[in-house]
Amino acid sequence: MTVNKIGLLEIRWHGRGGQGAVTSAELLAQAAIDEGKYAQAFPAFGPERRGAPVVAFDRIDSQSPIRVRAEIREPDVVIVLDPTLLHVVRVTAGLKNNGILVINSRKNFEEIEKDFGSNWKLALVDATKIAYEILGLPIVNTTMLGALLKVVGVVKIESLFKPINERFGHIAEKNINAVKKAFEETVVKE
């Protein structure tokens, strides 16, 4: 699935405060804008604290300006940064039947489908392991960007490098390596 073929693509990110869901959404939107697409990224959270569930959103369209500013209720793609959220938050709520579910998990497809069904294209990656190996921390936001791009060609992977460099400075290269490794290691089940 690419944004060029479907027009508007709506993405919902699920994470916990401090894990970088909002940053991921912003980096993706900036990469899309740099490619000449229309994009927006925004969070949805109130007085949550570090570790509390948070949600962020992206809308990307290669053809038309985006006029809607509401939360995304029926996403094309859901990305779960923290696997502990799978049983705390209804991450699949509103996910379109032909949508895509991208999960940071060590579980296999059968275990995930047992809990969430198989109405969606499913992508799994152990982003926490990759983040520890490359970044030395369990912060998986850039890692999950690589997983997303493996499944949805919404932007070129190289288009993320500039926003990552601008955002992370001296640790940008590690984050870029995390994106690349997750792209390689993400497993997709149609």
- On whether the CB atoms of residues 141 and 20 are closer than 8 A, the answer is yes
Rounded to two decimals, the pTM is 0.93
* pLDDT at 6 (0 to 100): 55
Residue 99, domain extent: 3-189
pLDDT at 2: 47
Rounded to 10°, the helix 141-151/127-135 angle is 130
* Side chain identity at residue 157, one-letter code: I
172 vs 30: CA distance, rounded Å: 15
- Tokens (6 digits) for 8: 């508007």
DSSP character at residue 11: E
The pLDDT of residue 128 is: 96
Rounded CA-CA distance 60/4 in Å is 10
Identify the CATH number of the domain in which residue 111 sits: 3.40.920.10
Number of H helices, E strands in the chain: 7, 7
Bridge partner residues of 78 (DSSP): 12, 101
From the number of C-beta atoms within 10 Å of its C-beta (0-12, 13-18, 19+), residue 115 rates as exposed
**What secondary structure does DSSP assign to 78-143, as a single string?**
EEES-GGGGGTS-TTTT--TT-EEEEE-SS-HHHHHHHH-SSSEEEEE-HHHHHHHHHSS---HHH
CA angle 1, 140, 153 (to 5 degrees): 15
* Number of domain units in the chain: 1
d(CA 12, CA 2): 16
The answer to whether the Cα torsion of 48, 89, 68, 36 is positive or negative is positive
Going by their DSSP bridges, the two strands 187-189 and 121-125 should be labelled as antiparallel
35 in helix, strand or coil? coil
Mean pLDDT in runs of 10 for the chain (190 residues)?
A: 66 92 96 97 74 92 91 96 92 92 95 84 97 95 97 96 97 98 94
> Tell me, what's the pLDDT at 119?
83
